[in-house]
Structure 1
Amino acid sequence: MSEFLSDMGQKKELLKKMIKMLHDGADVAEMKALFKKEFGNVMPHQISMLEEEMIKEGMPADEVHRLCQLHIDLFRESIDAGKVDVPAGHPLYILYTEHSRILEFAQQLVESATILIGKSDSATFARVQQLIGFFKESSVHYLREENVLFPVLEKYGVTQPPKIMWMEHDNIRAIEKSMYETADALAKSITKELSHTLQTQAIRLSETLTDHFYKENNILF
């Protein structure tokens, strides 16, 4: 850790340079190789420290948020090495389990919406409505993180990551809201156009949740 702190400024500048290179269209495979060479011994929480410093120096939080997917792709090996192993019943274990369950139902919604496009029957739509109901109930998961977990992290000085995760929660809520509106319209009339819309929204939700939960499981926690 002391060695990391001693060259933290150099690492931070290199990370900034790499982010700019990615923005300019650098080859991702080459960037991953460079990262492995320069940051091979850096743990996820140390990467978070660097990001915190960059935000404090003026990089907008939404800019960090926009780059998160690139970070995940680039830092995957290092992040996986730092994943927390917790026993059953631990609060984080519960969150991990909920993440898995929500992702499972998100994929089922994609599948059901896809079936609905070619088979506009009441049984298929009944399953869609059941899954929509699950996502409405799952809103408590995000509230629990925002009202219980995030304040604890902020108490110990981890301020920017919770803000970014909260931004993503709001994005998830927006996607779900549009999805609920489509489901309400389908309840009045099942059409291929609306079914396609629901499928697109479900895919977007599934992809967004996958990225979001990966960040929480492997970086935030």
Structure 2
Amino acid sequence: MSEFINNREQQTYKNTERIEILKEIFRDLHNGRNLNEVKAHFDAFIGKVTIEEIAQLQLEFVNEGGMPADELQRLYTQHTDIFKGRIEEDNREKRPEEQPGHPIHTFMLENRELDKLVKTQLQVHLWQFEEEDHAENVFKLLEDINLLLDIDKHFNRKEHLIFPYLENYGIYGPTNNMWRIDDFIRDAIKEVRQTLLHYNGEKKVVLEKLNWVIEEVTAMIYREENILFPMALANFTEDEWVKIAHESDEIGFCLTEPEAVWKPERKALDENAISEGYIKMETGILSLKQLELLLNHLPVDITLIDHEDVVRYFSHGKERIFARTKAIIGRTVQNCHPPRSVHVVEDLLADFKSGKKDSEDFWIKFRDKYVYIRYFAVRDEDGKYVGTLEFTQNIAPIQAIEGEKRILS
């Protein structure tokens, strides 16, 4: 360790100095020092760590950047191992998360179901598969994997409802680190499912991948319940939890459902109230209610971000293609995408801002839909860039059109 750490004895350090000590300890880990030695230094020089210090530490390492994916996985797992039993206890008097229907209560219900699935079902079937990889045991694993795919809803609610509010409080560590690990878990589940669907004796691959999935799902449950959820509970207002609870239904739930409709201690703000004012435009005058109904009845999904890449609006039609929640309003578009795809967003916005491009189109197969995604640079009358419009449409029904239709059905 550095002289700074070795000279720590008998001294009391301020928060920033503790962060520097933590960074030095974890740099040793990143540089290949034995995990047990790092734990010993942690116990000697830090002892207990707060969730705020963990958030700051993770942000510091994210800002340094340049870490390969496999190294990130390894280190994030070791970080979790070090923090176990070393996080300061939560001494809050009120615990709204213990109330059925509260978003954290539901997240933890899901975690109990996930824990049961991977430890008492998937693990047992994996041991049987290891003994004999015949068709029946392959089929049992496939059934378990199909259930585990439901974890995507759990992760999506976390990423699109919890992370945005944390960012509003300047907490970025979970957004960057945890989302990456979520993606690694998603990918591993999908990859092993494909291997099992077309199983041809790749026993070692299945064993390695599923053992990793079991380990990482278990570790993620610990990270959420001991780091992420306490961070959120320490910062979010009751109104923010009301909004999160209200929007959770749009994404869905994993392996279980809320036990009840959460009723906070005081009545939340009425989110449905809409001003009766009017907006005068160049080609007409609409009330705010008319304008909202008009936009929500378009047979497409639209999202608008401003010149600073902040999400300002999205339409709310009956059948959205991609999940959107109100929590993304005021969030940078970069933080609304998985970290591995942010570079595509950055490149596109750079081309729009520089004037190199005015539009860009993509088309993908998504579930039972053929999705046409279009991006348009929005410019004012002087050609100045003021934002980007995302326009998404399911074109499968359009592609199926044949002949002509000239009369009412």
TM value normalised by structure 2? 0.45
Aligned match of 1:87: 98
Distance, in Å, in 2 between the alignment partners of 1:101 and 1:83 is 27
Aligned match of 1:45: 52
Match of 1:220 among 228, 248, 251: 228
Distance, in Å, in 2 between the alignment partners of 1:75 and 1:175 is 25
Matched residue type, 1:215? R
Aligned match of 1:170: 183
Matched residue type, 2:43? K
Asked if the contact 1:114/1:195 (under 8 Å) is kept, the reply is no
Q: Find out whether 1:208 has 2:216 as its counterpart.
A: yes
Aligned match of 2:256: none
Q: Find out whether 1:101 has 2:113 as its counterpart.
A: yes
Matched residue type, 1:87? E
Deviation at 1:117, TM superposition (A): 4.1
Cα deviation 1:106-159 (Å, max 9, x = unaligned): 232232133134345554344223212202233211111122222222222212
Match of 2:145 among 132, 143, 150: 132
Alpha carbons of 1:32 and 1:126: their partners in 2 closer, same or farther (altered >3 Å)? closer
1:192-207 matched pairs, under 5 angstroms: 193-207=201-215
1:14-93 matched pairs, under 5 angstroms: 14-52=21-59, 54-55=60-61, 58-60=63-65, 62=67, 65-66=72-73, 67-79=75-87, 81-82=89-90, 86-89=97-100, 90-93=102-105
Distance, in Å, in 1 between the alignment partners of 2:141 and 2:172 is 37
Matched residue type, 1:156? Y
Percent of counterpart pairs with the same letter? 24
Name which one, 1 or 2, has greater alpha-carbon Rg.
2
Asked if the contact 1:61/1:164 (under 8 Å) is kept, the reply is no
Asked if the contact 2:188/2:209 (under 8 Å) is kept, the reply is yes
Deviation at 1:213, TM superposition (A): 2.1
Matched residue type, 2:148? F
Query: Relative to total residues, which structure has the larger helix share, 1 or 2?
Result: 1
Aligned match of 1:9: 16
Cα deviation 1:75-128 (Å, max 9, x = unaligned): 222226349863142211221221232232223223213313434555434422
Gaps of 5+ in 1: 1-5
Distance, in Å, in 1 between the alignment partners of 2:172 and 2:133 is 47
Alpha carbons of 1:61 and 1:47: their partners in 2 closer, same or farther (altered >3 Å)? farther
Asked if the contact 1:55/1:61 (under 8 Å) is kept, the reply is no
Aligned match of 1:3: none
Alpha carbons of 1:39 and 1:80: their partners in 2 closer, same or farther (altered >3 Å)? same
Alpha carbons of 1:123 and 1:24: their partners in 2 closer, same or farther (altered >3 Å)? closer
Match of 2:193 among 171, 180, 200: 180
Alpha carbons of 1:116 and 1:23: their partners in 2 closer, same or farther (altered >3 Å)? closer
Alpha carbons of 1:195 and 1:149: their partners in 2 closer, same or farther (altered >3 Å)? same
Alignment length, in residue pairs?
Answer: 209
Structure 1 vs Structure 2 CA RMSD: 2.9
Alpha carbons of 1:32 and 1:125: their partners in 2 closer, same or farther (altered >3 Å)? closer
Distance, in Å, in 2 between the alignment partners of 1:61 and 1:87 is 40
Asked if the contact 1:179/1:198 (under 8 Å) is kept, the reply is yes
Distance, in Å, in 2 between the alignment partners of 1:80 and 1:104 is 27
Cα deviation 1:10-53 (Å, max 9, x = unaligned): 2222222212322444444443233223323532222322433x
Deviation at 1:205, TM superposition (A): 0.6
TM value normalised by structure 1? 0.79
